[in-house]
Structure 1
């Protein structure tokens, strides 16, 4: 291909860029089965003054990840004449570069999810099987959310907001995500509203389970006090649930054992 120079290079460990899937990175095929072992003997492409590609410096050391221009160019959060956003520029080598100020704050492992989404429209484990993969998919969603939020990637954030609904969450994980999402400052995107709606609905539905949980009950109440928006959303969802008729099994369970004044 014109504009790309190839050279074979020995390395002690594999490197990844662009759309290498996380399943491959984790040593799995797309069906959740072990994939062939990755080798350290790879072909590394060097771009030679090509404007068909975009280089992305990631992390504090600015390690370069390279994308086809089509995967980056039309993203309004990277450049948009209507809003004046423009993070794309020609660097000194006459190659397009994404010069986003938040890239320095993103870890390479987390950027892998960004890379997958930009090239494939998805990221991480597509169809997790069993509790271990489910737990891993949850961790991936949390890391991907933090990275995508730094770059204001609203489409990826919406994708994550949809993906979390198909995973099995435990109470502690949801509370962790609630803190992550509700402590966010800056402009609120539609994805934030989607995620907050899901989080507050979950917490409201399991409200008494959280209150009576000896491990995280105190932590749950503390978070509600420190995050007023979360407290408001949870109690609004709870009130709506009560108006519509709460689950009788949940109400019976909530009355068992009673609560001391210190619990509220």
Structure 2
């Protein structure tokens, strides 16, 4: 019906189709006790104790989200920085108003001349590329002889409400380049941009080219968009009305709450990232 409805512009049709899919995923029989045989049997066998546990967890998740549902997708308690996550040895060698710069210890007798600076997205922690020894691009890179630096973005508060995209280039990526040169004496750098960190890197390269700054000698992009013409379902969340609502919220807080971003990303795959957890947790 949505695909063939008359009088809809492309964006409205896309939004309508997206939200019809959300409703379809929400009313799936597996999400309800009476139409999910496994859940029904468990509820009967436990005299409803599973529902009591679920309500307790639901209350905890709403409290953790400060009134919004912060859907729990993992047990975070076993993770400890430096012990079983982000275990590649390194230290902070620079700090600006928006980021810290981490330099990782060498793992080879000699290292390559040109350092490597990684610009991750600020919607993730720096250790997205250093989850554990078996799943660590950073560890692999130092084992290949690279001197690796990574930008660790600050978790913003109201102080950062006036920071612009250019500020993140100047005080984040370009500050990282300055820090690399100060730490190693090397001016030429290889750079990697990941996700929106890659978008920032691409913008920085354009700006630096205008200014005659040629310190970045190679740039590699992981899952990065620079042309958002065909941005897929993410465009559902970008129109004048929604941007105005986001800007209003950000003007009050000085930042966009992470739960809003997480919810948007979960909705892109709600059949995998929302409803299975609702059933299992609550």
TM-score, length basis structure 1: 0.22
- The structure whose RCO (Cα within 8 Å, separation 6+) is larger is 2
